Every structure is written in C-alpha cells, then in structure tokens.
Amino acid sequence: MLRNDNFLRALSKQPVTRIPLWLMRQAGRYLPEYCETRKRAGGFMTLCQSADLACEVTLQPLARYDLDAAILFSDILTVPDAMGLGLYFETGEGPRFQRPLREEQAINELFAPDPYDSLAYVLDATRVIRKALDNSVPLIGFSGSPYTLACYMVEGGSSKDFRHIKTMLYTRPDLLHRILTVTSQAVTAYLNAQIENGAQAVMLFDTWGGSLSNAAYQEFSLAYMRQIIAGLRRERDGEKIPVIVFTKGGGLWLESIAESGCDAVGLDWTVSLGDARRRVGGKVALQGNLDPNVLFAPPQTIALEAEKVLASYQTAGDDMTGLVFNLGHGISQFTPPEHVHALIEAVHGYPR
Amino acid sequence: MLRNDNFLRALSKQPVTRIPLWLMRQAGRYLPEYCETRKRAGGFMTLCQSADLACEVTLQPLARYDLDAAILFSDILTVPDAMGLGLYFETGEGPRFQRPLREEQAINELFAPDPYDSLAYVLDATRVIRKALDNSVPLIGFSGSPYTLACYMVEGGSSKDFRHIKTMLYTRPDLLHRILTVTSQAVTAYLNAQIENGAQAVMLFDTWGGSLSNAAYQEFSLAYMRQIIAGLRRERDGEKIPVIVFTKGGGLWLESIAESGCDAVGLDWTVSLGDARRRVGGKVALQGNLDPNVLFAPPQTIALEAEKVLASYQTAGDDMTGLVFNLGHGISQFTPPEHVHALIEAVHGYPR
C-alpha cells in the first residue's frame, strides 16, 4: 500500500490530502548531486543504462524535496536507439542519430523492438527503483510520443524547422505513417513492459506535436497516441494504471486530447488552467502548468505565481480535485535548487 | 488609386475580386535574385540601409509572382539598434547585440529614438519603394512588438529558453515595464513615420509573445501592442491605414488579440482557420495560415493543402471576405521558388 497516493488519487479525480506535485525533469542537472553522479558515471547514457545509477538519480530529488511522485530516470530516445538508429550525444549539441530515417528501404525495414530484449536495461531500472521507493510515492513510467520520436528519427537530432519530417509528411505521408505505426507498436510494448515491471502510471511526452497544423496533429500525432492508449494495460494487481498525455503547445487541441482515452492531460504554461478545466469539463484530470522560468524569481514571487495557477484552477470548479501540479515544461538546469522549496510549500499549503 | 487593392479591401472586410495573398519574408533567401543582390551589397544590413537596394529586393518577389501586397524590406531589430544596443550579425548565429540590456542604469537611460533621425534610412526606403510600386499593390510597413524586441534586447540575441528576460519579468517586472514603455513609444513613432512616408498598412510581428503564460502575455505583450495601436495614425490622404497583429503561438489568446484595436489578426498554422473565424465572429479580418513547410511538397499537394485552409475559413462564414492568405510564418530559405506558383494559383483560383 502506498503511503502517499495523492498523485494517483488526483489522476482519478478522487479526494486528496494535499495537491500532489512533481516536476518534469526533477532528476536533472540543476541538482549538484545529479551532476556528481553523472560525472562519476562518465555520461548521460551510462546513467540510463545502469539500474543502480538510474535508481540513485531518480531518488535524489525525493531525498531533497517533499514530492508526490517519482519518475523513472531514462530518455525518450531509448526506443529509436533500440530500433537501430544509433543514438549518440555530441557535446553541446544534444542527441543525434547516426542513421536518420529518410530512405524508403530503411523505413520499410523498421521494426518494433522487443522491450525485454534491447530495452531490458530500462525495465531493470524500473524494478530497482520501484523496490527502492518502498511504497513511499508512486513511480511514473514514460515514453516519447510516436510523432516526437519520429521527429528525432527523421531529422537525425533536434531541429528548429522540422524541415525533413514535414517534407515527408506532405510529400510521402505513407512513409511517415509507416514510421509512426511501427513506433506506436514499439511504444505500446515498451510502456506495457514498464507497467509490468512496476510503473504505476505512464506518461506520453509529445514534445513536438505542437509544431503541427491542427489537421496534421490529429492525423500524425494524436491518432497514434490514441492507438497506444487503447493498447495499454490499464490495471495491475488490482490497481488502475493512469495515463497522462502531454503535448507541448497543444493547448488549442485540449478537447480532442481529452478524448484520446487518457486519464489526464499535461499542459504547458501558455494555457490558463481555469480555462482548461472549463474546457475539459471534468472529463480528465489536468497536470501543470507553471512557467519553469518562474523558479528564477525570489521565493515569495514563486509562491505567489504558483498560487495564481492554483487559484485559476479553483475558479473553474467546486474544489481542487483532479489537479496534479507540475511545471509546464522540464525544470531548467539553471534553477537554484533551494528555490524549489518555496514552490512545494506553496502548492502543498494551498489554500493558505 | 491602387490598381489592386484586394489586400486593403480584405483587411476592411469589403468584397474582393480575388483572395489576396502575400508571404511573410517574401523577399528573402529562397530567391536566387535576392541572394545575388545581398552578395553584391556585402551583407544584410547594407540591404536594409540602402534605399535603392531595399527597393530592389522588395520588388523581386513581385516581379516573379502575382502577389497582392509588398512589404518594406527591413529588419525588426532596426529599432533596438537605433536605441544604441549595437546590432551585429555573427555568421550562422543570427542577430546579436553588443550591449544586452540587463543593468538598471542602462534601462533607466533607455530612450525612444526619433525615427526621422536614426531610422531615416528606413523612411527613405519606404518612400523609394512606394514610388517604385507606382500604385500597383499596397505597401506594408512593420515593426517587431515591444515584447519581441525586448527579448532580443535583454537576451542579447536569439534564445531557446528566454531565461534572462523571464528572470527579469518575474524578479524585476518594473524594469521590464520600463523597457517595454520606452520601446512602445519608439515603435509608435517608427510606424507613424512609415505611414507618413508611404506605408499603406502596418503589421506588428510578435514573434516571441507565444512563449509567455496567458497572464504574462496580456500584461507584457498585448497591453503594449494595444497602446501602440491606440497611438497610430490610422488614416492618410483619406485612406484608412489598417493594422495587423501577429503573435506566433498566440492562437489561445485570439479573442483578446482581436480586441486590441487591430483590423486583422495574423495566425500561425497551428490554428484551424475556421475555428479562428468563428471565435472572432467578424470582429477583425484574419491573415494566414499555411504551414510554410507545405511548400516543400509537390505542386498538387501545395494546391490541395492551400485549398484545405481556404475551405476551413469558408465553413465558418457565408463568403470569403475578411481573409488575407499568407503562410503561418516566414517562407523557408529552402523553398524551391517555382513551388510558390502553385500556391498563388490555388489561392487566386479559389474556389476551383
């Protein structure tokens, strides 16, 4: 039995003893202890590939802060790496693939890897972390969305304009659909394996869906996330496994995301949380959505801005159920770690 | 008398003989003739600073394509440059400022330049271009929005996370308000001078307003654009001067942008044009909003995608009045110039 199940209760819109909170990228470079472990490991992928190191960094923010959930330490690009694209990191350049997917033949040869084979290291980490958490707070598993993964796979890395994948989308949509179909199968199996190995909720990170037109988003991003959600194991050991979908820049499409079959929708900071709550009308829980840059401000301002977000949510309903507090994007590596306390106190102490 | 006033008529929601179209960044690097002139000039800023060269490149896309408007060739950063920040271009790095605005003293010393003094070269270009157009199509003047200019001024160049300006926004909002107040005065005087010298419509480019939270957008971007619009000369020689506001990523805030006093709202491609038309309910005209990446597709696909955008607009009204067709962002430098013809034919020929 979980000692703090507020996160799972909020996702099911059940009463909570306090508003649950976690932070996207909470185990990350803003924490000196993370930087030390990473240095010791010799690189980011070594952290992901060692169950013990992944567990160590997953627990670091929980040791420091009173958080309501842990998230598996891993990277969204483990899946395309397992598909044979050759992930590597160029210093200061972000992730890259040795073999970007552009040729029809390579696309036809694409396969969905067995997560128990090439992604076993993630499942090992999941088990070790779940055990180490010892039922203190729930463990979140995650994957990139098929479209977001396809962006990296086709572009070969980060991109400003997504020229290659969009050229494919408009010129050879059949090829992109093939990539997305295989990737969806891969992600479904991957998330089910995370659930099988101890993840108590899962989240789809659709970091780049917001770069699409409304129509293209529906066809090339949301449709595949819907397919994944339909294929997920939603219960384990009698416990429900909730699913969160987060499309950065997807505020315009909130209603259709809420109808994807997910339990909760993650929101970036451009959306008013009150408007969002009115728009989904209790259909799903919401997760968000403070601008991570607020954490550069002094503690009183952080508390004030967090309370504004919470008050906005409150204007649109009778109580505070159905809300998981989070940032609207990953915490910045430049965040002063001591500033995070002010945020957590404001959220857990709400209303003052 | 303009021989083709469809652009101005659409902005006033009057009947048109065809749906008017122009392209953001239509005079740009995708055109070989532009690259040649730029090479001859020796650099981008030389193009902006020579009235004859600015005129030459402004007219290049009009010689090649049947466009319904010309836009002054210039850069949004001319204003902060005239404020003494020292604009320069690092190859492959985009624009930079020698003296980013971070210190209170420098911010207090900030002044709104007299456009007839330090920006006279833009006004010269405006007059020369207007004369060269010889009443064929209208000339659009433009400026960056105060918040977008402040992003460059405080960050010192482009930014991924806008860490410096957001730290200021949440830590010392008084300093940012001071920058925005002075910049708004500068932009108002600058646009009025462009109108005085021949611009027949003006557009505010709010490229970075979409990086703000809903509340911060209202306070730090839209409020200042509203102030500028209220200070603009809206008529010259008996002709109305329409104002277009374009906030990239601002689809969520469409209703409030439409109430800023502008005549038209520019839209990026994430917004469904039909939804947008329903939401503004005839209050303003709309300009947009094809994904520029569509222009990488073959001509038939370009025509089809343009027709989808047009059909979306049509579902939400009785006719096609109040629409200026454009891309949802500047045309990519990698666009094959011959592809633009398919777009123009589809728009001017609509409905088939």
Share of chain A above pLDDT 90, in %: 96
Q: Does pLDDT of A92 surpass 80? A: no
| Nearest residue of chain B to residue A269 (CA atoms) | B213
pLDDT score of B153: 98
| A300/B contact by beta carbon, under 8 A | no
pLDDT score of B352: 82
Q: How far A346 CA lies from chain B's nearest CA (Å)?
A: 16
What mean pLDDT comes out for the span A273-287?
97
Q: Does pLDDT of A93 surpass 80? A: no
Question: What ipTM was reported for this prediction?
Answer: 0.94
pTM above 0.90, yes or no: yes
In degrees and rounded to multiples of 5, residue A284 shows phi and psi of -135, 165
Separation CA B194–CA B184 (nearest Å): 15
| B269/A contact by beta carbon, under 8 A | yes
Q: How far B233 CA lies from chain A's nearest CA (Å)?
A: 32
- Residue B99: Cβ within 10 Å count: 14
Q: Mark yes or no for CB contact B162/A210 under 8 Å.
A: no
Separation CA A216–CA B248 (nearest Å): 18
Size of interface A-B (CB pairs under 8 A): 95
- Which of A159, A160, A214 is best to mutate for the B interface (most B CBs within 10 A)? A214
E strand or H helix at A65: none
What mean pLDDT comes out for the span A333-345?
98
| A210/B contact by beta carbon, under 8 A | yes
Find all residues with CB under 8 Å of B224, minimum gap 6, and list them.
B145, B146, B147, B180, B181, B183, B184
Which is nearest to A213 in space by CA: B264, B267, B209? B267
Share of chain B above pLDDT 70, in %: 100
Q: Which structure tokens are listed for A272?
A: 């008013």
In degrees and rounded to multiples of 5, residue A89 shows phi and psi of -120, 125
List, by residue number, the catalytic residues of B: 25, 29, 38, 75, 152
pLDDT score of B172: 97
DSSP E strands: which ranges in B105-241? Answer: 139-144, 201-206, 235-236, 239-240
Specify the DSSP class assigned to residue B332: P
Q: Mark yes or no for CB contact B297/A217 under 8 Å.
A: no
- Residue B227: Cβ within 10 Å count: 18
Q: Does pLDDT of B238 surpass 80? A: yes
Q: How far B199 CA lies from chain A's nearest CA (Å)?
A: 31
Q: Does pLDDT of B91 surpass 80? A: no
In degrees and rounded to multiples of 5, residue B239 shows phi and psi of -100, 140
Q: Does pLDDT of B271 surpass 90? A: yes
Q: Which structure tokens are listed for A351?
A: 């209303």
pLDDT score of B19: 98
Of the candidates A162, A214, A305, the beta carbon closest to that of B170 is on A305
Owner of token pair 């006093």: B261
Which is nearest to A142 in space by CA: A227, A66, A77, A51? A77
What mean pLDDT comes out for the span A122-126?
98
Q: Does pLDDT of B89 surpass 90? A: no
pLDDT score of B310: 98
The mean of the pLDDT values for chain A is: 97
| B159/A contact by beta carbon, under 8 A | no
| Residue A347, SS3 per DSSP | helix
Specify the DSSP class assigned to residue A157: B
| B332/A contact by beta carbon, under 8 A | yes
What mean pLDDT comes out for the span A327-335?
98
List, by residue number, the catalytic residues of A: 25, 29, 38, 75, 152
| B56/A contact by beta carbon, under 8 A | no
Q: Which structure tokens are listed for B336?
A: 């094959």
Instruction: pLDDT band for B94, please (50, 70, 90 cuts).
Output: confident
Find all residues with CB under 8 Å of A230, minimum gap 6, and list them.
A261
Owner of token pair 């960050």: B155
Separation CA A88–CA A94 (nearest Å): 9
Of the candidates B217, B271, B297, the beta carbon closest to that of A214 is on B271
Which residues in B lie closer than 8 A to residue A301 (C-beta atoms)?
170-171
Q: What's the start-to-end Cα distance of chain A, in Å?
A: 30
pLDDT score of A113: 97
What mean pLDDT comes out for the span A49-55?
97
| A28/B contact by beta carbon, under 8 A | no
| Residue A109: Cβ-neighbour burial (10 angstroms; 0-12, 13-18, 19+) | exposed
- The CA-atom distances, in angstroms, between A266 and each of A55, A151, B311, B347 are 25, 20, 31, 37
> Could you report the per-residue pLDDT of A127-182, keeping only the tens digit for each?
999 999 999 999 999 999 999 999 999 999 999 899 999 999 999 999 999 999 99
Share of chain B above pLDDT 90, in %: 96
- Residue B1: Cβ within 10 Å count: 4
Separation CA A313–CA A333 (nearest Å): 28
Separation CA A148–CA A152 (nearest Å): 7
Q: Residue A240 forms beta bridges with which residues?
A: A235
> Could you report the per-residue pLDDT of B197-223, keeping only the tens digit for each?
999 999 999 999 999 999 999 999 999
> Could you report the per-residue pLDDT of B4-57, keeping only the tens digit for each?
999 999 999 999 999 999 999 999 999 999 999 999 999 899 999 999 999 999
Q: Do A266 and A253 form a contact (C-beta atoms < 8 A)?
A: no
Q: How far B7 CA lies from chain A's nearest CA (Å)?
A: 24
What mean pLDDT comes out for the span B258-270?
98
Owner of token pair 């507020």: A6
Of the candidates B171, B305, B308, the beta carbon closest to that of A298 is on B171
Q: Mark yes or no for CB contact A269/B213 under 8 Å.
A: yes
DSSP E strands: which ranges in B146-282? Answer: 201-206, 235-236, 239-240, 243-247, 264-266
Separation CA B15–CA A174 (nearest Å): 40
pLDDT score of B292: 98
pLDDT score of B344: 98
- The CA-atom distances, in angstroms, between B224 and each of B43, B50, B182, B218, B235 are 32, 30, 10, 9, 21
Q: Do B229 and B260 form a contact (C-beta atoms < 8 A)?
A: yes
Instruction: pLDDT band for A89, please (50, 70, 90 cuts).
Output: confident
| Residue B12, SS3 per DSSP | coil
Q: Which structure tokens are listed for A147?
A: 């479209």
Which is nearest to B209 in space by CA: B166, B173, B255, B174? B166
Q: Do A323 and A285 form a contact (C-beta atoms < 8 A)?
A: yes
pLDDT score of B141: 98
What mean pLDDT comes out for the span B85-108?
91
Angle at B138 between CA B23 and CA B192, to 5 degrees: 100
| Residue B205, SS3 per DSSP | strand
| A12/B contact by beta carbon, under 8 A | no
Separation CA B305–CA B75 (nearest Å): 30
